[in-house]
Amino acid sequence: MNIMNRKYILLMLFVFVLGGCQIKEDDDEKLPGDKFWNEGSIESVESFMLSIYSAFRDAIMMKSGMVLCAGDLRCAPVVNTESSTNYIPTVKNGWINCLKDNDIRTLRDNSADDSWYCGAIMDWSHFYKVIQSCNILEAEIGNVPGLTETDVVTYKAEAVFMRNLTYFFLVRLFGDVPYYTNAYNAKPLPRTDMVTVLKNCLSEMQTLIDMEVLPWTYTVKSKKGVRANRGGAIALMMHINLWLVQFDSGQANQYYRNVVALGNQLINNNGETYSLLPLESTNEIFKGGSAEGLFEVAQNIAYNEVFKQEAVFSNNVMYTCFSGKKSPTLYYSSTFLRKIYPLDGMTEGGVWGFGEETDGRATAWFLDVDATNENRDFNEVTKFKNVDAYSGSKVTSASGNQVIFRLADAILMYAEALYATGNSSEALIQVNKIRTRANAKLFDETMNLESEIYWERVRELIGEGVYFYDLVRTGKLCDRSYAEFSDGSGHYERRANFNLGCWTWPIAKKALGQNPYMSYNLYWE
């Protein structure tokens, strides 16, 4: 196959159109092979760049329930209701119980390859479409006539950011993954050690940061938060460094120092670009494009850009918006919620329910259906209630974005690294920024700050797709005091299984059949 034909085929495979930027019959995007670039324009490059963002959205929100299932529900202290047990007829206790018990084998063995809640998560091809497109743009953009040097450098920077963000998502799902950056790769590749992958990502991202190409933010509203920016790039590097603390532990101190330096740049030297919004402005955060957002996945209902209903966290944990629905699909256990959002005081006899909340998020983000019940559940999560649009009994995700990184997340990573490097006083200041915004009692120097910073991430980022990944990267998945609760909710893992990769997802069987160099990691063999 000659190079032109190969390029044409790849373009047909990997070019997607973001809603609102429809391709006309006579547009340059119809040009085959090399002509797409050699006879293209800044408009065709922009459409190609938008297609990369669109493909990433497909990978994490449309083709699978990756954010919800892999990030929020796996090993989580949740309870499934009757309405959620029948999605996999051959699984007696339903897919939610499989996820919270970390029983991914049952899901794998009883789910169709394209099933939203399992099979599609194992199919990493959706992510490699993003990577392939990023590689092509980086290699070819210099051939497009009429672009300024600034145009070329900026689009390359966006592609590099999206490629490394995608690799980070792949590593958190699968551990070791095939790694490549050449444009038109057609050869089967083995899995690359995830530490090597992430170190490569850090190297590329550091070059990007040093070049100061990406802006802190955008003045154009349609780009704010959803196009690659300096804040999102720094947040990605902070996350990668903290992931490597667990899996390249010999260099843990250096990774923590890296996070401190990055956090100082993002939080203290951003030119007042980013800020924490008041608790009562929660809806603005999750609608997207706020001063707290660092990077988000866009959707706009005006262009029929709507996430799959099951992909949106709120659609599974809310019910009062539905006509005739009596309970959510799932809810958090009362034991867990009482642990992270404690009450101030108890009645005589030790009955919960008459004290005052010590954390404003408990009442702002949850519906307390029975405040006088000692076994009460906040059985509806209303954190995202103002993001979704409802019509009768149908839930339609409106223009609310999927937040990937936001400032509160970065502040807590900064606090974590400060504490790990011996600066507990500054760590306390940082974590108390989040406590202050939450109208919660401030922490003090007498507390176990390492543990409290972890739990503050659980409180603050609940429902945002990070719960399980924080358990993994901190090693707390193997600690019952963090991963399993007195009512039996949640799930911990033995260290031996952790080291074999029990925290990963198995790759789809078709990947094994198509690639002679491919194999499962040790846990899934």
Local structure of residue 30 (DSSP, 8 states)? G
Could you report the per-residue pLDDT of 189-221, keeping only the tens digit for each? 999 999 999 999 999 999 999 999 999 999 888
Could you report the per-residue pLDDT of 227-277, keeping only the tens digit for each? 999 999 999 999 999 999 999 999 999 999 999 999 999 999 888 899 999
Task: Assign 38 a pLDDT band (cuts: 50, 70, 90).
Answer: confident
Q: Do the Cβ atoms of 162 and 49 come closer than 8 Å?
A: no
Asked which of 12-26, 53-67, 317-331, 381-395 is least confident by mean pLDDT, the reply is 12-26
Q: Which residue has the tokens 């293209």?
A: 40
User: Does pLDDT of 349 surpass 90?
Assistant: no
Could you report the per-residue pLDDT of 328-347, keeping only the tens digit for each? 888 898 889 888 988 664 44
CATH 1.25.40.390 domain extents, the chain: 225-298+401-462
Q: What is the structure's pLDDT at 76?
A: 95
The end-to-end CA distance of the chain, in Å, is 36
- Multiple choice CATH, 225-298+401-462, 3.30.420.10, 1.25.40.390, 2.30.130.10, 3.30.70.3340: 1.25.40.390
User: Does pLDDT of 398 surpass 90?
Assistant: no
Q: In angstroms, rounded to a whole number, what is the distance separating the alpha carbons of residues 51 and 133?
A: 9
Q: Which residues contact 228 (CB under 8 A, 6 or more apart)?
A: 157, 158, 161, 162, 214, 295
Q: In angstroms, rounded to a whole number, what is the distance separating the alpha carbons of residues 94 and 110?
A: 11
What is the mean predicted confidence (pLDDT) over 424-428? 98
Task: Name beta bridge partners: 380.
Answer: 367
Global pTM value:
0.90
Residue type, 400: G
What is the mean predicted confidence (pLDDT) over 106-115? 79
Asked which of 116-120, 299-303, 362-366 is least confident by mean pLDDT, the reply is 299-303
What is the mean predicted confidence (pLDDT) over 81-97? 60
